[in-house]
C-alpha cells in the first residue's frame, strides 16, 4: 500500500466517526438486554461527588509534594542522586559499524552486525522518517510528545485519577516517550517514588541535551519488539522481511503496538498475532483522530491484509559458538555496569559501534572440544538402545587456563550448534554435582583448617548424621558396605559418603558453605544441611562454576573469577572496557598440594584409570592429573572435574529432562570421565611433562594405621604406611606421640620364693 505524508489531514474528527467508534461498532452484536442507564439520581450524584473528591485529593497531594518543604526536600534529594545518562556512543554515529570478536591469537571468530546479526540493528532516524513509524508511536504512546519537556503533567494527572477511579490500576500509563527512553537507556524500572522522580529529572535532562528527533531515534532503536528483537529495523526484517525504511502504514502501526507487551502481542504466535492486529487497528484509529493520516488512508489500511514473513528454518547467518555468545554476554554485562546503562543499550553499542572484542579463547583447545562434542561414540555407547528415548544425552565442558584463570574453551551441548542464543548448558544449567563437590565443601576446608591430613584415620561405619531423622542410618555408601578405620586419602579416593559427611560435620556446615562461596559457588542462602557434603543442593552447579572452583586447587590456592575477554576497543582503537576479574587467595599451597596428591589417586586407581589414567604428552612424558567423579543418587547426572599443572576442566553429562526425568543407562555412566580424558589427553599432547609443585613444608612421614607415630611393633605388625603431612602441624606424627596400640610386650616379673635362703654374702649383720 502506497502512503505519503503529503496526504495528511489535520481536520478534527467527530467522535461518532472516529476509528475507536468504528472498532467498537464492529464488535457489537445483537441488542441490549437491559437499560444502559439504570442507576438512580441519588447514585449518580454520589458518583459525581466521588469523582470530584478523587480529583481534589490528587491535586492536594501533588501540591503538597511539589511545594511543601518536606516534599521539596525529598525531590531535591532524589534529584541529587540521579545518575547522568550515557548515550555518547549512540548519538555520535549515523550508521552501524561492524564489531569483531577475536580469539587469543588475534583471529576473527565472529562479526556482529548486518547479516551476522538480525536481532539488533541500529538505524538512523533520517532513514525511516519518511515512514509512519514515528507518528504511529507518538499517537499511541505520547500524543503531546512535541509539546512537553520530558514529562507530561496532564498525562501523569490523568493516570493518577484513572488509578484512583479503578481501584489502583490505571487504564493508561503516565510515562512519555522520553521517560520510556530513559528506562531503555538506564535499565531502571523499579516501582518506587525515588526511581520515578529520578526518571522525571533524567527525562528533562535528556530533552535539554537531545532534539525530539534524536530521542525518537533512541526509542525506535532500543524498544523491545519481542522474540529477542530490539528496535524497528530488527523487527521489520524478522516480521516482514524488509528494511524499516520500506514499512507501509499497517506495518508501522503494528510495530508501534509491540513495545507495550512484546509477549502478548508476539506476531510469531497465533494468539499474539491476533492481539497485535487488534492493537494495530486501534493505533490506526488514533492516527486518524490525531490527523496523522486521512480518512482514505485509514480505510485503505483497514482493508489491507498485513503480510508476514514466512519463518525460515535455515537462515544464512553466522552461528556463533557457545564461547563467543558467553564472551559477548560478559562484555555487555560489564559495559552496562561500568557505564550505568541498561543491558539492552549496552548490547546495542556492542553490536553496532564497531567494537573490537579480544577474548581468551585458545583456538587449538576449543578445536578439541568441538571435535569431541560431535563424536557420538563419546556420548552414546549403544545408540540403538536410546532410539525410544524422548531426547538424546548431552553434556557441557569448560576448560580454564590455570596460569591466568581465563576460560580457554567451552562447549554447551552435544552436536552441531544450529541456532544463536540456544541453551548453553555450561553456564545456564544447574545440576547437582554428586561426589564431585566433596573436595570443595568437606576435604578442602578440612585440610585448610588443620582438622584432617591425608593420613588421618576416620571410621567408615554406620552413621546417624541426619538431624531431621536421628534414628535413621545416613549417609549410606554407594556400595552399601563399610570398611572400618580408613585414612582420609582412602575415604576420598573410594568416595565414601560416610567419611565426607563426618569431615563436613567436623568443619561445620556454615564454615563449609563459606569456603564453597570463596571458590565462586555461593549457596549460603540455602542454609547448611548435611546432604550438601555428598552433593545435595537445592540449586545445583554449572560446569563453569565447577571448573573455576577446581582451578583454585590447580592454581595453588588462588580463586580467579573466570573471564572470557581481556579488553574491548572502539573503532578508533580507544579502550572501551578491560576485564578486571576478581582474584584472591582461598587455600594455602600446602592444602592444594595435598588435595592434588589425593585426587591423583582417583585418576590412577578409579574409573579414569580405565580411560587412560594419568596423562602423558606425545613424547610419553608424565603430566600429573587429579580429578573427582560425581554421580547423583538417581543417576541423572554424571560429572568429572579435575586439573593438571596446565588446565582445570569440568564435564557434566546427562539429559536435559525437559519431558521426563531420564536416568543415564548403565553403558553411558562413565561418559563424563571418557569425555574429560579424551579432551584433556589431546589438549596436553604438545605440552612438556609436569608435576604438581610440592612446597618445602610438606614432608613424607611414616605413620601407623592407628594414626600415631609407629613403633618397632607397628613395623613388625605391618601396619605402617607413608603419607604427606605439613611439617610441624598437630596432625603430623611425632616420636613424643607413639602408637598406643602396638606396644612392646612387657617381661613378667617373677614372684619371690619365701623359702629361698639368702646367700651369706647378701646378708647384713651388726656388731
Residue in 299, 292, 2 with CA at minimum distance from that of residue 139: 292
Q: How far does Cα 412 stand from its chain's mean position?
A: 13
- DSSP β-ladder status, 615-616 and 622-623: antiparallel
In a domain, residue 224? The reply is yes
In a domain, residue 424? The reply is no
In a domain, residue 53? The reply is no
- 524: helix, strand or coil: helix
In a domain, residue 493? The reply is yes
**Annotation marks residue 141 as catalytic:** yes
Domain range holding 497? 434-539
pLDDT digits (tens, 9 = 90+) for 245-278: 999 999 999 999 999 999 999 999 999 999 999 9
> Which CATH number covers residue 496?
3.40.710.10
**pLDDT for 193:** 60
* Candidates 135, 141, 199, 289; catalytic one: 141
Cell triple for residue 452?
Answer: 584432617
Domain boundary among 272, 302, 332: 302
In a domain, residue 610? The reply is no
In a domain, residue 463? The reply is yes
Helix (H) or strand (E) holding 296: helix 295-302
- DSSP β-ladder status, 407-411 and 575-578: unpaired
**pLDDT for 253:** 97
**pLDDT for 93:** 54
**Domains identified in the chain, total number:** 3
Domain boundary among 493, 516, 539: 539
**pLDDT for 311:** 73
- 569: helix, strand or coil: strand
Paired with 58 in beta bridges are none
- 68: helix, strand or coil: coil
What is the Cα gyration radius of the chain? 36
Q: Which residues of the chain have pLDDT under 50?
A: 1-4, 6-13, 15, 18-21, 23-39, 54-55, 57-58, 70, 72-80, 115, 170-171, 314, 763-767
Cell triple for residue 195?
Answer: 526511581
In a domain, residue 589? The reply is no
Cell triple for residue 383?
Answer: 545408540
* Candidates 86, 139, 435, 436; catalytic one: 435
CA atoms within 13 A on the CB side of 256: 31
Is there a cis peptide before residue 518, judged by omega within 30 degrees of 0? no
Q: Which residue has the cell 553434556?
A: 395
**pLDDT for 122:** 86
Cβ count within 10 A of residue 601? 17
CA 548 – CA 563 distance, rounded (Å): 10
Domain boundary among 539, 554, 569: 539
**Annotation marks residue 289 as catalytic:** no
**pLDDT for 84:** 57
Q: Specify whether the CB–CB gap between 222 and 346 falls below 8 A.
A: no
**DSSP secondary structure code for residue 439 in this structure:** I
In a domain, residue 755? The reply is no
Cell triple for residue 253?
Answer: 502501526
> Which CATH number covers residue 178?
1.10.3810.10
Q: Kindly report the three-state secondary structure assignment for every residue of 624-672.
A: CCEEEEEECCCCCEEEEEEECCCEEEEEEEECCCCCCCCCCCHHHCCHH
295 and 441 in a common domain: no
**pLDDT for 56:** 52
Amino acid at each position: 500500500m502506497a502512503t505519503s505524508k503529503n496526504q495528511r489531514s489535520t481536520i478534527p474528527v467527530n467522535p461518532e466517526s472516529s476509528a475507536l467508534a468504528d472498532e467498537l461498532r464492529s464488535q457489537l452484536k445483537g441488542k441490549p438486554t437491559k437499560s444502559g442507564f439504570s442507576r438512580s439520581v441519588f447514585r449518580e450524584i454520589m458518583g459525581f461527588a466521588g469523582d470530584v473528591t478523587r480529583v481534589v485529593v490528587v491535586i492536594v497531594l501533588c501540591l503538597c509534594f511539589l511545594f511543601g518543604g518536606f516534599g521539596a526536600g525529598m525531590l531535591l534529594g532524589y534529584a541529587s542522586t540521579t545518575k547522568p545518562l550515557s548515550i555518547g556512543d549512540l548519538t555520535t554515529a549515523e550508521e552501524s559499524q561492524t564489531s569483531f570478536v577475536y580469539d587469543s591469537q588475534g583471529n576473527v571468530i565472529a562479526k556482529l552486525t548486518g547479516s551476522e546479526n538480525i536481532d539488533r540493528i541500529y538505524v538512523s532516524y533520517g532513514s525511516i522518517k519518511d515512514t509512519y513509524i514515528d507518528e504511529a508511536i507518538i499517537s499511541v504512546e505520547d500524543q503531546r510528545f512535541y509539546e512537553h519537556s520530558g514529562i507530561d503533567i496532564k498525562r501523569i494527572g490523568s493516570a493518577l485519577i484513572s488509578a484512583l477511579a479503578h481501584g489502583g490500576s490505571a487504564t493508561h500509563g503516565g510515562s512519555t516517550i522520553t521517560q520510556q527512553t530513559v528506562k531503555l537507556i538506564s535499565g531502571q524500572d523499579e516501582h518506587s517514588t525515588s526511581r520515578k522522580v529520578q526518571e522525571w529529572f533524567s527525562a528533562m535532562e535528556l530533552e535539554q541535551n537531545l532534539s525530539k528527533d534524536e530521542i525518537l531515534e533512541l526509542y525506535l532503536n532500543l524498544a523491545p519488539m519481542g522474540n529477542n528483537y530490539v528496535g524497528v529495523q530488527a523487527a521489520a526484517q524478522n516480521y516482514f522481511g524488509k528494511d524499516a525504511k520500506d514499512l507501509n502504514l499497517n506495518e508501522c502501526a503494528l510495530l508501534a503496538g509491540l513495545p507495550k507487551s512484546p509477549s502478548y502481542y508476539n506476531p510469531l504466535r497465533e494468539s499474539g498475532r491476533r492481539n497485535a492486529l487488534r492493537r494495530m487497528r486501534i493505533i490506526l484509529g488514533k492516527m486518524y483522530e490525531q490527523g496523522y493520516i486521512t480518512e482514505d488512508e485509514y480505510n485503505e489500511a483497514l482493508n489491507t491484509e498485513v503480510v508476514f514473513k514466512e519463518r525460515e528454518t535455515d537462515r544464512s547467518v553466522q552461528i556463533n559458538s557457545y564461547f563467543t555468545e558467553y564472551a559477548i554476554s560478559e562484555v555487555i554485562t560489564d559495559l552496562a555496569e561500568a557505564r550505568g546503562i541498561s543491558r539492552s543499550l549496552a548490547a546495542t553499542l556492542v553490536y553496532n559501534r564497531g567494537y573490537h572484542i579480544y577474548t581468551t579463547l585458545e583456538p587449538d583447545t576449543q578445536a578439541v572440544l568441538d571435535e569431541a562434542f560431535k563424536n557420538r561414540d563419546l556420548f552414546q555407547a549403544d545408540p540403538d538402545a536410546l532410539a525410544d528415548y524422548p531426547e538424546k544425552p548431552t553434556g557441557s565442558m569448560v576448560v580454564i587456563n590455570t596460569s591466568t584463570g581465563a576460560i580457554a574453551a567451552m562447549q554447551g551441548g552435544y552436536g552441531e550448534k544450529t541456532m544463536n542464543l540456544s541453551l548453553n548448558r555450561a553456564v545456564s544449567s544447574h545440576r547437582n554435582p554428586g561426589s564431585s563437590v566433596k573436595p570443595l565443601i568437606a576435604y578442602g576446608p578440612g585440610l585448610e583448617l588443620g582438622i584432617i591430613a591425608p593420613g588421618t584415620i576416620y571410621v567408615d561405619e554406620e552413621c546417624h548424621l541426619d538431624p531431621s531423622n536421628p534414628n535413621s542410618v545416613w549417609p549410606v555408601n554407594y556400595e552399601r558396605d563399610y570398611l572400618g578405620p580408613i585414612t582420609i586419602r582412602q575415604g576420598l579416593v573410594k568416595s565414601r559418603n560416610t567419611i565426607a559427611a563426618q569431615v563436613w560435620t567436623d568443619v561445620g556446615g556454615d564454615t563449609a558453605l563459606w569456603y564453597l562461596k570463596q571458590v565462586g559457588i555461593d549457596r549460603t542462602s540455602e542454609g547448611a544441611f548435611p546432604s550438601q557434603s555428598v552433593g545435595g543442593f537445592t540449586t545445583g552447579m554449572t560446569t563453569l562454576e565447577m571448573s573455576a572452583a577446581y582451578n583454585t586447587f590447580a592454581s595453588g590456592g588462588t580463586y580467579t573469577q573466570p573471564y572470557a575477554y581481556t579488553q574491548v576497543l572502539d573503532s578508533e582503537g580507544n579502550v572501551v572496557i578491560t576485564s578486571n576479574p576478581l582474584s584472591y587467595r582461598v587455600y594455602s599451597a600446602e592444602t592444594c598440594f595435598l588435595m592434588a596428591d589425593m585426587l591423583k589417586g582417583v585418576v590412577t586407581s578409579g574409573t579414569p584409570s580405565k580411560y587412560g589414567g594419568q596423562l602423558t604428552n606425545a613424547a610419553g612424558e608424565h603430566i600429573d592429573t587429579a580429578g573427582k567423579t560425581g554421580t547423583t543418587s538417581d543417576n541423572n547426572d554424571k560429572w568429572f572435574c579435575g586439573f593438571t599443572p596446565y588446565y582445570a576442566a569440568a564435564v557434566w553429562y546427562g539429559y536435559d529432562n525437559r519431558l521426563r526425568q531420564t536416568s543415564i543407562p548403565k553403558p553411558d555412566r562413565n561418559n563424563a570421565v571418557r569425555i574429560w580424558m579424551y579432551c584433556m589427553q589431546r589438549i596436553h599432547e604438545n605440552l612438556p611433562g609436569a608435576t604438581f609443585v610440592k612446597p618445602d613444608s610438606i614432608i613424607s612421614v611414616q605413620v601407623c594405621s592407628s594414626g600415631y607415630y609407629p613403633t618397632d611393633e607397628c613395623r613388625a605388625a605391618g601396619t605402617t604406611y607413608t603419607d604427606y603431612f605439613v611439617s610441624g602441624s598437630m596432625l603430623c606424627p611425632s616420636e613424643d606421640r607413639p602408637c598406643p596400640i602396638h606396644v612392646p610386650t612387657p617381661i613378667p616379673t617373677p614372684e619371690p620364693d619365701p623359702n629361698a635362703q639368702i646367700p651369706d654374702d647378701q646378708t647384713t649383720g651388726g656388731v
